[in-house]
Amino acid sequence: MKQGSWLFRPITSGPLYEPSKRRLTWRNGAVATTFSADEPERLRGSQHDAAWCDELGAWRYPEAWDMLMFGMRLGADPRTVVTTTPRPAKLICDLVRDPTCVVTRGSSYENRANLAGAFLQQIIKKYEGTRLGRQELNAELLDDVPGALWSRALIEAARPPMGFVMPDLMRVVVAIDPAASSGEDADETGIIVAGKDKDSRGYVLADLSGHHTPIEWARIAVAAYKSHGADRIVAEVNNGGEMVEATLRVVDDNVAYTAVHATRGKVVRAEPVAALYEQGRIRHMGAFTALEDQMCEFTPDLDRSKPKRDPTDPSSLGMGGARSSPDRADALVWAFTELLVEEIGSWGIYETTRRKAEALVKERLAAVEAGRPKTEYAPGSMEYQALHPDWKPQEESY
């Protein structure tokens, strides 16, 4: 994607780089200065005749683009080149609609000669035909998913303005949506750090999700709990049961922990949190691209009981990403459910019936859990000690 065109002159030798000045100087006198999109104010007052912006779709502060444009005033015809994944962020969509912007698209297939064969084979096998594949492989700029709880405009509105200072937080939680397994085809484990201030406004502080083994996600969650000064770890236990807490206790026995059970559908749980975004009560303190993509594909079609989407089956498209479980978005929902979602105050017939049904579901889940064979750990193992903190090894007698 570029505005106009740029003439490139062959360079016979590399430029001189001065890190302290963030400056590159070529032998022909050309000078380039590097800037970070995370520091828009540094662009204030600078002047340029050409600029290259990389991954504009992932910029945390759109104001960085505004500051750059104010400085594009040198020479007879200043030009800007943008190279980016075509994420449907507002800034990218505005550029595409600009009549002075010339758009050039390049797919991963056209770059096949420069990519490792094994890498390309795995990526195509996993994502070809999916919504994410159309964006990442085919360079398509996609519109919002019909029926999704969040839109790109809603996400963009959640970004703080330039110069925003986050107030003191009254509470901070680390929310975990653990994967049922840790194999090659397993879902991600969602790990979101979020907080709220005294005015009951929420803030997404970090997205630490990924493909982790149980001990890995436990260590990541506990580290985030300590580094962000969190007061609680909240984790869904539908898949892991007591092992979720036991794994966390292996890493640190003193963390404050709350187990939550998913007794309602994903969309029903997520709707109150989406409403908080519509009210402007939540801000994203960063550009969380993977999380935001899942949020904008969070539709009523999502169902963990369904098989994972087959990238080669067109009938399975539109199911919310490459997998049927939006783990990052799930963790976000658990975080703000803990922090901001208030229970219905009315004790009318609807609320009473709902609570009875919820209690009945919990009883049935408990009965099923009680009927399952229990894992017995060898005395002295880390898992055994986590469940029996008072255990001490017996001294051998001779």
Give the CA diameter of the chain. Answer: 94
Most confident of 77-81, 87-91, 109-113, 378-382: 77-81
Q: Over pLDDT 90: what percentage of the chain?
A: 30
Whether pLDDT at 98 is above 80: yes
pLDDT for 87 equals: 79
- pLDDT average, residue stretch 350-365: 74
Q: How much is the pLDDT for 193?
A: 97
Please compute Rg for the chain using Cα positions. Answer: 25
**Of all residues in the chain, what percent are helix, strand and coil, respectively (each to 5)?**
35, 15, 50
Reported as a pLDDT band with limits 50, 70 and 90, residue 199 is: very high
d(CA 297, CA 87): 13
What confidence category does residue 241 fall into, taking pLDDT thresholds of 50, 70 and 90?
low
Is residue 44 predicted with pLDDT exceeding 80? yes
Indicate whether 249 pLDDT > 70: yes
Confidence of residue 320 (pLDDT cuts 50, 70, 90): very low
Average pLDDT over the chain reads 81
Please give the order of strands across the beta sheet that includes 31-33. Answer: 16-18, 23-25, 31-33
- Residue 345 has which token pair? 């105050």
Is pLDDT of 314 > 50? no
- Of the pLDDT bands very low, low, confident and very high (cuts 50, 70, 90), residue 240 is low
Cα of first residue to Cα of last residue in the chain, in angstroms, is 79
The token pair that represents 365 in the structure block:
């889940």
Checking if the pLDDT of 226 tops 90, the result is: yes
pLDDT level of residue 4 (50, 70, 90 thresholds): very low
- Using left for φ > 0, alpha for ψ between -120 and 50, and beta otherwise, residue 55 falls in left
* Section 281-307 average pLDDT: 79
**pLDDT reading at 1 higher than 60:** no
User: Given this model, what pLDDT does residue 370 score?
Assistant: 76
Average pLDDT over residues 308-323: 43
Mean pLDDT of 22-48: 90
Q: What is the pLDDT of residue 181?
A: 65
For residue 374, is pLDDT > 80?
A: no
Which residue has better confidence, 146 or 202? Answer: 202
Paired tokens of 367: 């009965």
**CA–CA gap between residue 136 and residue 119 (Å, rounded):** 14
d(Cα 355, Cα 342) in Å, to the nearest integer? 15
pLDDT in tens, 148-176: 888 888 888 898 887 889 999 999 999 99
Confirm if 41 and 161 have CB atoms less than 8 A apart.
no
Residue 260 or 135, more confident = 260
> Between 45 and 11, whose confidence is greater?
45
The pLDDT value recorded for residue 223 is 95
Confidence of residue 3 (pLDDT cuts 50, 70, 90): very low
The band of 308, judged by pLDDT with boundaries at 50, 70 and 90, is very low
Residues 6+ apart with CB under 8 A from 121: none
